[in-house]
Amino acid sequence: MIGRVLLLSGLLLLAVLSFGGASAHYTPLPGDQFSYNEAIALSGGTGNYSGYTESTSTNGSLSVASVLPNGTESALYYNVNSYQNNQGSQQTWTSSGRFTFSATTFLYVNGTDNQTGYTNPYVWFFMNNNLPVGASFTLLNSGLSVVSTSENYALETAAGTYVKAIFTEGNGSYQRNDAYGVFAASYNWKAYFDPSTGYVLGYVYIEQDSDNAGDGFTITDTLSVTHTSYALTPGSAPPASSSGTGGSTSNLLLIVAVLVVVVVIIVIVVVAVSRSRRNHPLPRHSATGRMTFSPPLGPPPPGIQLTPSGQPAVQQIIIKETVKVNCRYCGALIDSTAEKCPFCGAART
C-alpha cells in the first residue's frame, strides 16, 4: 500500500514538473529576425532650446545567429541612421555588429546593438512572454510592468494589420547629464511585445527635460516592427462607431457646426478686405527690423539615449596661457576657454 502511494506521489510530481517546463518562456532560436523603423524627435524647446528641433530616423534589423554552448544567444544588428536639425546640420551613417545576450537573465552579455550610456543594461527587444499582468521587468535601465497580455495592437505597416500583444508601461525620472546639459528628466514608456515569442512589436517613449534656468525640451521616441521571420498572433480592430439614430444626430450637428465656421470665416474675410481698402496692411517684419526670437547658441550633438547614466562633467584648467583649439563643428581656431564658437555658435564641448 505504501509503495503504491509513493508511486502515485512520484507520478504527480513528474506531472507538476512537466507542466512547469511547458510553461517556460520562449527561447530565441537561430534565424529569428525582425526589422523596424524608429524615429526620435526633439521638440517643444524652452529657454535656450526655444525654437530648436532635431530628429533621428533609423531603419534597423536584428537577428539571432546562433545559441552558444554556455546558453547565451549570439545576435547581429544593422542600422541605417539619418540625423537633421532646424539649423541645417545633417548626418547619415550606418552601424552594425555582433553581440550576445542571455535569454535567462535578459541582460546583454558581450557587447550591445550600439546601446551607449547604460550601466549593465537589459535588452530592449525581448521579454519573458509568460509574465502575468502586474509583473515587473526591465528594459535597458528602465522598469516597466505588464498591463495586459492580450492587447490588440496595430502594426505600423501599409496594411495596418492588428495583432495580439503584451502591453507594458513604465514611468520614471533621472538626471540627464550629457552634451545636451544637466536636466531633470521624467518619462513614460509604453512597449508592446509578441505574446508567442516575447519579441518587441513597437513602443512609444516620451521624455520631458527641464532645468532651473527655464531651459528644456521634449523627446519622443517611437519604434514599430515592419517585418518578422516568425508568425504573429492575429488580433482584431476596434469596433466601428454606431451608425444608428445617435450617429445620424451627431453627423447633423457636425455639418451645422462646419457651416457656422464657414460663415464666420467668410465674414472675417469680407471685413478684412473692406479694411484693407482704407488702411495700410500690417508690415510682414517688425518696424525696427529686429528679430524678437534668438535661436540657440549652437546645435547639440546627435545621439539622444533613453535614461542614460550620468557622467561627471570634464573640468579643464589653463594656468599660464590661453590654448587655441579647433571647433569640432566648423573647424575654426578658437580659445579653449570659450564656451561656444564665435563663428558658428556651437558649444565647444
> Bridge partners of 207?
187, 219
Predicted confidence at residue 323, as pLDDT, reads 65
Pairing of strands 90-102, 72-85: antiparallel
Q: What's the pLDDT tens digit per position in 164-203?
A: 999 999 999 999 888 888 999 999 999 999 999 999 999 9
Q: Taking a C-beta distance cutoff of 8 angstroms, is the pair 7, 27 a contact?
A: no
pLDDT band at 250, cuts 50/70/90? low
Convert the pLDDT of each residue in 135-146 to its tens digit. 999 999 999 999
Phi and psi at residue 7, in whole multiples of 5°?
A: -65, -45
Stronger pLDDT, 325 or 160, i.e. the higher one: 325
pTM for the model stands at 0.66
Give the contacts of 341 (CB within 8 A, at least 6 positions apart).
298, 327, 329, 330, 332, 334, 347, 348
Mean pLDDT of 74-99: 95
Per-domain residue ranges for the chain?
25-228, 314-349
> How confident is the model at residue 275, as a pLDDT?
37
Which H helix or E strand runs over 348?
none
Which is it for the CA torsion 225, 227, 228, 233, positive or negative? positive
Name the residue among 68, 116, 75, 118 with its Cα closest to residue 97: 75
Amino acid at 253: L
